[in-house]
Amino acid sequence: MMNSEILKKRTKLFSINTGKLVLELTYNALNKNYANQITRCSSSVGANYRAACRAKSSADFIYKLKIVEEELDETMFFLELLNEFNPNQRTMIDDLERGE
Angle 23-29-33 (CA atoms, 0-180°, nearest 5)? 65
23-98 belongs to which CATH class? mainly alpha
Q: Please state the rounded mean pLDDT for residues 51-56.
A: 96
Q: Average pLDDT, stretch 26-30?
A: 96
Mean pLDDT in residue range 17-29: 97
Q: 95 to each of 52, 55, 77, how far by Cα in Å?
A: 26, 31, 15
What's the confidence (pLDDT) of residue 100? 80
pLDDT at 47 (0 to 100): 97
Return d(Cα 49, Cα 54) in angstroms, integer.
9
In this predicted model, which residue has the larger pLDDT, 99 or 1?
Answer: 99
Helix (H, G, I), strand (E, B) or coil at 93: helix
Nearest Cα to 74, choosing from 34, 41, 25? Answer: 41
Tell me the domain boundaries of the chain: 23-98
